[in-house]
């Protein structure tokens, strides 16, 4: 209440903050993405080869917690496999839901198709983004707590890497993924729709190219750290002079 201005990372967070303090001055200034780190040209053929002959790699990155919704990617995989038998899901990260996720993989008999590499350093992660066929963000809103995705840095990194994205229509995600030019959207928890969208991207080369171009242009225009830092600097100057 005493702040001259409050910054938030997305429209969804702005809405939540406004409910706490309706009279607050709030401005959206999101985090940026390091375009010198995440690049399309970091494609690593050798990394892909560990998943077999001509694999279709579906990547998800983040902490294994309930509202990240990783379970829906696993549930979507059987339907994807009917069209693409070489599809592999790579879940990068760790967290309290890991045991449950591994159990789900076991029950669905997907042990040969789902991989848990653990934590990966930034340089290697950049290569993995650029070498994957599609990146999925399947976050949900928890009814019990209201927790949801504030923005989604993983998607920014994926777009900067030129990799197509499929994401749930949840929280701040819609600030990044528009359902058309920067990536495809599906409804929270609807793993059947998710499977359809993944299959669509894997099937259509022109769509993949379109999303790759659109996503890269979007992050360069809106989320380059140089632009974000300039916006913050301008805000500081305005506050100092007021």
Task: Examine the pLDDT at 88 and tell me if it is beyond 90.
Answer: yes
Q: What is the pLDDT of residues 60-73, one digit of tens each?
A: 999 999 999 999 99
Alpha-carbon torsion, ordered 238, 34, 90, 127, to 10 deg: 180
Helices (H) and strands (E) in the chain — how many of each?
A: 9, 8
| pLDDT mean over 36-65 | 96
pTM of the model: 0.95
Q: What is the pLDDT of residues 153-207, one digit of tens each?
A: 999 999 999 999 999 999 999 999 999 999 999 999 999 999 999 999 999 999 9
In the chain, % of residues over pLDDT 70: 100
In the chain, % of residues over pLDDT 90: 94
Q: How far is CA 132 from CA 70, 204, 230, in A?
A: 17, 15, 32
């Amino acid at each position: 209440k005493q702040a001259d201005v409050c910054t938030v990372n997305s429209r969804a967070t702005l809405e939540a903050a406004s409910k706490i303090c309706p009279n607050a001055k709030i401005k959206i200034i999101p985090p940026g993405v390091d375009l010198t780190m995440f690049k399309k040209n970091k494609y690593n053929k050798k990394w892909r080869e560990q998943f077999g002959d001509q694999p279709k790699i579906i990547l998800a990155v983040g902490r294994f917690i309930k509202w990240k919704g990783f379970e829906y990617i696993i549930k979507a995989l059987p339907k994807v496999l009917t069209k693409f038998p070489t599809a592999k899901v790579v879940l990068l990260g760790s967290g309290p839901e890991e045991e449950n996720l591994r159990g789900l993989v076991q029950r669905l008999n997907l042990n040969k198709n789902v991989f848990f590499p653990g934590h990966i350093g930034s340089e290697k992660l950049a290569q993995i983004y650029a070498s994957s066929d599609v990146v999925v963000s399947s976050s949900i809103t928890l009814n019990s707590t209201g927790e949801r995705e504030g923005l989604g840095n993983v998607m920014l990194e994926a777009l900067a890497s030129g990799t197509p994205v499929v994401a749930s229509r949840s929280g701040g995600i819609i600030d990044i993924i528009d359902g058309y030019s920067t990536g495809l959207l599906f409804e929270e928890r609807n793993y059947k729709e998710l499977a359809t969208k993944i299959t669509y991207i894997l099937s259509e080369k022109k769509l993949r190219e379109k999303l790759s171009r659109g996503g890269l242009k979007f992050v360069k225009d809106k989320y380059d750290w140089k632009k974000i830092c300039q916006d913050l600097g301008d805000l500081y100057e305005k506050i100092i002079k007021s």
